[in-house]
Amino acid sequence: MTERFPLTGSSSRRAPAQRAFRERAAKVPYVELHAHSSYSFLDGASLPEELAVQAAELGYPALALTDHDGVYGSLEFAHAAKHFGVRPLTGAEVTLADRSHVTLLVETQQGYANLCRLLTAAHAHTRPVGKESQPPADPALDQALLEELNDGLVCLSGCARHGLAVRNPNAAVRLAQAFGRDRFFVELQRPYERGDARRNAVLRHLAGELGVPTLVTGDVHAHHPRRAPLQDVLVAVRHRSSLEGCEAERRGNHECVLLAPGEIVERFPEDRAAVARTVELAERLRFDLTEELGYRYPDFSDSPEPAIVQLAHVCKRAFEERYARGHKLRREAQARLDEELQLIDELGLAGFFLLHWDVLELARECALEVRGRDSPRHVLPPGRGRGSSVGSLVCYLTGLSHVDPVGAELSLGRFLNRELNSVPDIDLDFPRDIREKLIVAVTERYGREHAALVASFATYRSRGAIRDVGKALGLPYAELERIARVSEGWNAQRVAEELQLLPDADRKLMSPRWRAFGELCREIAGLPRHISQHPGGMVISSRPLVELVPVQPAAMAGRQMCQWDKDSCADAGFLKIDLLGLGMLSAVEDCVEQIATLRGRPIDLSRIPLDDKAVYDNIQRADTVGDFQIESRAQMQSLLRTLPENLDDLTVQVALVRPGPIQGKAVHPYIEHRQRLREDPTFVPPVDHPLLADCLRSTLGVVVFQDQVLEVAIALAGFSVGEAEGLRRAMSRKRSHDALEAYRGRFIAGALRKGVDAETADTVYDKLVGFSGFGFPKSHAAAFGLLAYQSAWLRHHYAPEFLCSLLNAQPMGFYPPATLVRDGQRRGVETRPPDVNISGAKCTVEEGAVRIGLDYVNGIGEDDAQAVIAERERGGAFTNVRDLAQRTQLSEHGLETLIVAGACDCFDSERRRLLWQLGLVPRAQTVPGSGGEEKQLALPLEPTAETPNLPEPTVWERMLADYRTTSLSVGVHPLELLRAHLPAGVISSRELEEAPNRAQVVVAGMAVARQRPATANGVVFMLIEDEFGAVNLILPPSVYDRHRAIVRSEPLILAHGRFERIERNKNVLVRSLETLGPLARKVSRETEVGASLPGAHHFGHR
């Protein structure tokens, strides 16, 4: 492993770089050693790369990045700086326990390890036990620990406002003694604030008394003066204030930017030696973050047996079970296993596979604990593989995949090949409950110093930028919310353009504040706002991880995360194990358990027939609401034409409706070729060149899978597997157009050598470039295709249990719960409302109907629901509202919500009467000052006044209350109530079925989903639903721009357009939209109709 995938660099490469640095430094009088990027969250206003570019343009030979209490952007900065010829220096500005700051710079590898441990310690108490989900406290480092772990570090005394030497000179004395005279510097800054001269004079005197040198720094917070206003805004956001309200905290001028070295010299005429000292110190700081980490993952190399022997033993045991003697694929599988193990041994990856196997074995233990020993869920594996690893037989035999790659004819080259230059990826999907426990268990198994989650960084998009920037500028809240609702929601750089689309845009843009708002939103776009945890990526290290990257607590109990995201972890050579939560796996497990409990016969999904005609009939009719991966409207419209007949067809189907095949123009040719093949079984799908016939045969002549990019490059251009994988990687996201074009010449030259003409080679390459959007490898599609079939099988044969499990697994999938319930009703599955005397905590099945669980009621959490059920089981059914209120600890709001949601209708009284009675119930009260431990018991008195006659809720009130409290209604649909009041000529979804092609129609419905795919050139697809079914709407860009507010925020919609029927697909091409909100309010006599109805699901670039 160490030879094949070196994760540390060679120090010999640094010698030329050091000579180049000395040559440039001789010409430059100053190096900036104190700079903040946007990873000093809500303080720094520039990305690390922007600082690196600006430093290169200003002629800096080196630059130190010293973000607040972290190295979040340091590796990103280091790579960018080296690319632009600037030597990156690593450090951080650390907050001490007394809230003063010191700047730490890394001199050696030991110094970096110490910095990581110090930052880990600073964050260790930011999320106290039991309060992990609350906003974190500010990091703080005990100075005594800093004094202890100072080896390899250089300490500067801190910034002008919060520096240790400024705020606590006595503590600075102790720190100077710990670091010594050659590694402690008194920091001089001149931000042009009142008291600069006096402060620097005091600091020079302190340095003289201590016998340590002074050093000039710029405390940079932006790479260019144009970002200085944004830095003020970020300070306001951090303090939850406006610019006027945080004037004391802001810098108030534009002096916090990266200045040219000559300007710094001029700024410090009395401290030229302190300026020059920055160059001398920079030359001392030899640590290179891009080369010297020394990461290793646990590779089982310390075991008595070699790792490859251990792996072979694991595989052999499983092989005898999966391919027993007499199995038709045994010989082929044995040959493939021998080949894979030999390749794994050559690549030194046996420990890599054993590590993943060990994690999966740990998952089995977690699954046993979560499921319980007698659970029917034990017939299911604890998790499933996804991605290209599903093509590996070793993964299949070690349990890391559930798809037989030999039987499914899956290729290995996309996952493993002899030209591999980095460790491959193995992604594992788990049910959510197992995954939650597994993440903590992995951390405990390998040690909290050796394992952590990968970080992710929430970045500014349109809505966040609008709200934060607008609040900082003091703009009206209502106006900001109006803009946020109609905004695209993705690219904050477009907020200024969207502002011009408002009816009062001209008036707004007359205001300097509104003009600044648009410009600042553009500047803030993409900047990180705060750190959060990756959904499931984990890093495990044999060397203490806390010496490679700082680790801090996550917002969930037992979890911790490192300070780097997946890209930085990949750059560092870290092995990332993805433990992902998949909602459909949770639903399937719940469904299997309910079937066993209710019907007395557990089912094994690995043994169900994979050729069930009734299931494929549903799929071919696009009756797939709730089915995994094939339930979206785009998939449904495709299913009506592709008509999948087997699992291989489903594998293609899952991969077909993806940006890669769409942009590669593969979808329509595939559908046409499939139709031709049904009509004429002798039809041979055409290909661009005969050399492509074999590799594109399974997908009828077009590129659908990522693997086929490799196969086409190998077959047509003679690429090696490694070269082809390099091309595929160049097509992955975040790669430039230049990287793709660099391969074009090699591709065409290789094709010419194989007798392919240049025009054909160019055409094929253009199709591959078109495929560079997101696409699935065949192995991944096979894994998801199998789960898609299993979910469709459960939906057909066990409809109540499947619907119940989908509701319990929310949020997930394409449709909101209300639509899932309506679909079930159309298929004969009854859904019943929550009931305090019948419902479980989660949804359950009773008498073939689904009963909504108590925790579906807004304001009733799972713990509250479980407590109500426990009390019901202990003391019997609740007899009335008084009994419910006095026997449970539910809050007043929780009890009211249960009544409004209909969960107390079992008390045979109208909901308004129940609310009145609830107000008269005496309940135990907490004794003030007792911290909730002492209570004053309620007197057992009956109400002294009768409940007055109150009007019964109208059907509108009951329906809106259902939606408002549970997000669904099991009774009447809003369009059923509105139908009689709609304008003449409005037809229902049922009547639309009979409309002639290209007829002008008007339809109405409740918005269910809206999509604006990046591949659709601005076209928006909407799904609306009435009491009979769903209608697909297609909105051209001009219609969307004209009716953006309706599309994005109105739940009830009236659409005018042309009905289009293409074979079995039916759509309405919209020319105009209206909101039905005013009509609904008039008919219902309710003021908040829209706010009560569930919002539509958004997908794609919104």
Question: 6 falls in which pLDDT band (50, 70, 90)?
Answer: very low
* Residues whose CB falls within 8 Å of the CB of residue 1041, separated by 6 or more in sequence, listed in order: 501
pLDDT (mean) for 371-385: 81
Q: What is the CA radius of gyration of the chain?
A: 32
User: Buried (b) or exposed (e) across 524-553, using 16+ Cβ within 10 A?
Assistant: bbebbbebbbbebbbbbbbbbbbbbbbbbb
Tens-digit pLDDT profile for residues 612-631: 999 999 999 999 999 999 99
| Helix (H) or strand (E) run with residue 278 in it | helix 272-284
- Report the SS3 class of residue 586: helix
Residue 928 has a pLDDT of 63
397-409 average pLDDT score: 89
Token pair for residue 544?
Answer: 């203490």
Distance from C-alpha of 98 to C-alpha of 175, rounded to nearest angstrom: 14
Percent of the chain with pLDDT over 70: 94
Q: Give Dmax (Cα) for the chain.
A: 99
CATH topology match: 11-65+83-124+138-284 vs 973-1100: no
Cis upstream peptide for 811 (omega within 30°): yes
Per-residue pLDDT, 926: 61
- Residue 36's pLDDT band, with cuts at 50, 70 and 90, is very high
pLDDT band at 411 (very low <50, low <70, confident <90, very high): confident
| Six token digits for residue 193 | 């604030």
Answer with the residue of higher pLDDT: 680 or 1100.
680
Q: Summarize pLDDT for 68-97 with one digit per residue, the tens.
A: 999 999 999 999 999 899 999 999 999 999
pLDDT value, residue 779:
86
Half-sphere exposure of 570 (CA within 13 A, CB side): 10
pLDDT tens digits for range 804-849: 999 999 988 889 999 999 999 999 999 999 999 999 999 999 999 9
Cβ partners under 8 Å of residue 748, min gap 6: 717, 758, 761, 762, 765
Inter-CA distances, 699 with 488, 650, 669, 1025, Å: 36, 12, 10, 34
**Looking at 177-186, 293-302, 978-987, which range is the least confident one?**
293-302
Confidence bin at 1099 (pLDDT 50/70/90): low
Mean pLDDT (the chain) is 89
Examine the pLDDT at 570 and tell me if it is beyond 50. Answer: yes
- Tokens representing 823 are 């679909």
Residue 647: which of 737, 778, 479, 548 has the closest Cα?
778
pLDDT greater than 50 at residue 1101: no
Q: Which residue has the higher pLDDT, 865 or 27?
A: 865
Please report the pLDDT score of residue 336 as a whole number. 94
Residue 540, both tokens: 């495990």
Distance between the two ends of the chain, CA-based, in angstroms? 45
Pairing label, strands 451-459, 560-565: parallel
**What's the rounded Cα separation, in Å, for the pair 532 and 364?**
28
The rounded distance, in Å, linking the Cα atoms of 42 and 558 is 27
pLDDT grade, residue 1003 (50/70/90)? very high
Alpha helices in 26-162 (DSSP H): 48-57, 74-83, 109-123, 143-148
- Contact indicator for 57, 85 with CB cutoff of 8 Å: no
Cβ proximity of 1022 and 1010 under 8 Å: yes
| 1041-1090: pLDDT as tens digits | 889 889 988 999 999 999 999 888 899 999 999 999 999 999 998 888 88
Average pLDDT over residues 382-389: 83
Q: Decide if pLDDT at 177 tops 70.
A: yes
pLDDT digits (tens, 9 = 90+) for 933-988: 556 556 565 666 677 777 888 899 999 999 999 999 998 999 999 999 999 999 99
Q: Kindly state the average pLDDT of the residues 380-402.
A: 87
Give the length of the chain.
1102
Confidence band (pLDDT; 50, 70, 90) for 441?
very high
For residue 735, is pLDDT > 50? no
Domain 11-65+83-124+138-284 has CATH 3.20.20.140: yes
Cα 351–357–359 angle (5° rounding)? Answer: 105
Residue 10 pLDDT exceeds 50: no
Strands 101-106 and 153-156 turn out to be antiparallel
Which residues contact residue 800 at a Cβ distance below 8 angstroms, ignoring those fewer than 6 apart? 824, 829, 845, 848, 849, 850
Average pLDDT of the residues in 894-910: 92
Mean pLDDT of 338-344: 94
Q: Which amino acid is at 1031?
A: V
| Tally of CA atoms within 13 A in the half-sphere of 293 that contains its CB | 27
Mean pLDDT of 559-573: 91
Residue 189 near residue 226, CB atoms below 8 Å: no
C-alpha distances (whole Å) from 434 to each of 233, 369, 383, 437, 438 are: 42, 9, 9, 5, 6
Which of 380 and 202 is assigned the larger pLDDT? Answer: 202
Indicate the pLDDT class of residue 292, thresholds 50, 70 and 90: confident
Q: What percent of the chain is modeled with pLDDT above 90? A: 64
Q: What is the 3-state secondary structure (H, E, C) of 641-689?
A: HHCCCCHHHHHHHHHHCCHHHHHCCCHHHHHHHHHHHHHCCCCCCCCCC
Query: Taking the model in full, what pTM does it have?
Result: 0.84
Name the band, by pLDDT with cuts 50, 70 and 90, for residue 927: low
Q: List the CATH code of the domain at 973-1100.
A: 2.40.50.140
Mean pLDDT of 203-231: 95
Half-sphere exposure for 1096 (CA within 13 Å, toward CB): 23
Instruction: Give the best-scoring range by mean pLDDT among 5-19, 94-108, 761-775.
Output: 94-108
- DSSP letters, 163-221, are BHHHH-HHHHHHHHHHH-TTTEEEEE---S-TTHHHHHHHHHHHHHHHT--EEE---B-
Distance (Å) of CA 282 to CA 245, 504, 787? 39, 54, 56
* Structural domain boundaries in the chain: 11-65+83-124+138-284, 307-457+533-581, 461-526, 672-775, 853-927+943-969, 973-1100
